[in-house]
Amino acid sequence: MSAKKSKPAEKKTAKSAAKPAPAQPAEKTKKTYGVLRGLHDILPREEKYWKKYYRAAQGLAEYFQFGRIETPVLEEAGLFVRSIGRGTDIVEKEMYLFEDRDGTKVALRPEGTAAVVRAYLSNGLWNQAQPVKVWYWEPMFRHERPQAGRYRQHYQLGFETLGVKDPAVDAELMLMAYNLYAAVGLPVEMHVNSLGAPEERERYAAELVSHYRSKRSYLCEHCRARLIKNPLRLLDCKEEQCQPVKESAPQLIDWLGEDSKGYFMKVLEFLDELSIPYVLSPYLVRGLDYYTHTVFEIYPAASGAAESAGAGAPAAGETAGAKPAAPGSQSALGGGGRYDLLIEQLGGKPTPAAGVAIGLERAISELKHYVEQNPSLAPTDDKYQIYFAQLGDDAKRQGLRIIDQLRSSGIKPAFNFFKNSLKNQLETANGLKVSYVVILGQKEVQDKTVIIRDMESGVQEIVDQKKLEAALKRKLGLS
């Protein structure tokens, strides 16, 4: 075994340590590029957060029997206009729209549900046993005004159940969203409402218009337009001046017929049974036009909300205007509901359906915020079982083969082929808190052996390379 001396570490001055990482120097004549406004890179240091959610999502999908679906990023623009609705912000202001080279009007997918319904129809999934349950994890594109938690490209995890209308379906979707957050340790609550059937909603909309019209002079410019174009969207308005008008508005729940009310009550009974904390939100209408009956959004749990809802939930209206006391954000971490008319609207037979989508950037940002107060919930990088140290070119060559053999036997080593000093590599191994280091120096390369060093006792043992896997498995308690 031979160890090369490592270069002395560069001295850091206090000044250089405080500086942010410098941009790569560029030739003066060359233009450099940054990320476009409203878009963002996801870097390796974020990976542990993404993995935590992805693993939870995959586990839930498997357990609740949802099959993975992936639809193209591009669809015909008309698909989204017809599904999401002309008067919505997404269609009016936010869609990335362009003409393809053959003149087709296309859009970058702003949400997943319409695309899933298109796939359900164009692939004949309606012909299979129902319900069809699918999940996706995909980027969505909305040209929104960039701000915290609002990106022009964001990821959504979605679960959709097509072909069945049953309160158990609505409850299962809410349970999955709730469980996703429970799996990462984030307490959340559901804000729920029912939009009823279209004719009930129309009668309600007429009532809403007459209420808002009587207060027209207090309304923002957008709400004055909404009065004519899409009255339900009046309830989405976030402008300060419109809030008092909303707070005194009639509530949709009072306009529902017996069947719709009965359906909604059954959904709530499921939530009670499942002990999912929820808040009745009479003004929750969602920003997309395709919903009927149950709608819901997921928020970080507000203190006390869980007790004021759930078992023995208050009557509709008692929580009117309830705002989540979210530590990190005031924005929904996810949302969904029933869309019983959408499949028919897009050319299929009348087929009920429901779904939920989680905004992953928001979910991650909320988790990071929560971890600041609860460090034990911080996701960790995947653990290495051993460190593999090598010394010299010959050791690198043999070392890569040995590492690959360990991989296929299920042992996960950390290694860095670009560090050549043993001291340096042992320090890294120490930092990673591995129990054993496998050392391959020039002598070991010739003898076809390795050294296994016990990091706690410092005891070293020479082992034949052929017996390395068995020796490690024994030491790690894997055999």
- Applying CB under 6 A, the residues found at the interface with ligand HAM are 111-113, 142, 144, 149-151, 154, 156, 158, 160, 287-288, 332-337, 355-357, 359, 361-362
Residue 452 to residue 463: CA distance in whole angstroms: 7
* Residue 156 CB, nearest approach to ligand HAM (Å): 5
At 373, the amino acid letter reads: Q
Beta carbon nearer to ligand HAM, 179 or 421: 179
Residue 300 to residue 313: CA distance in whole angstroms: 19
* Residue 369 CB, nearest approach to ligand HAM (Å): 15
Beta carbon nearer to ligand HAM, 160 or 469: 160
* Residue 394 CB, nearest approach to ligand HAM (Å): 51
Q: CA nearest 195: which of 332, 335, 347?
A: 335
Residue 281 to residue 273: CA distance in whole angstroms: 20
Residue 60 to residue 66: CA distance in whole angstroms: 8
Beta carbon nearer to ligand HAM, 298 or 395: 298
* Residue 99 CB, nearest approach to ligand HAM (Å): 24
Q: Which residue is nearest to ligand HAM (CB)?
A: 359
Beta carbon nearer to ligand HAM, 92 or 144: 144
Structure tokens at 63: 């357990």
* Residue 39 CB, nearest approach to ligand HAM (Å): 11
Beta carbon nearer to ligand HAM, 155 or 204: 155
Beta carbon nearer to ligand HAM, 141 or 436: 141
Token pair 């989540």 is at which residue?
A: 324
* Residue 38 CB, nearest approach to ligand HAM (Å): 8
* Residue 314 CB, nearest approach to ligand HAM (Å): 24
- Beta strand pairing call for 67-68 and 132-141: parallel
Beta carbon nearer to ligand HAM, 310 or 336: 336
* Phi-psi sector, 124: left (phi>0), alpha (psi -120 to 50), beta: left
Beta carbon nearer to ligand HAM, 117 or 389: 117
* Residue 107 CB, nearest approach to ligand HAM (Å): 14
* Residue 288 CB, nearest approach to ligand HAM (Å): 6
Beta carbon nearer to ligand HAM, 236 or 444: 236
Listed as own residue / partner, the contacts of 201-204 with beta carbons closer than 8 Å and 24 or more positions apart are 201/232, 201/252, 201/255, 201/292, 203/255, 204/250, 204/252, 204/255
Beta carbon nearer to ligand HAM, 39 or 478: 39
* Residue 92 CB, nearest approach to ligand HAM (Å): 14
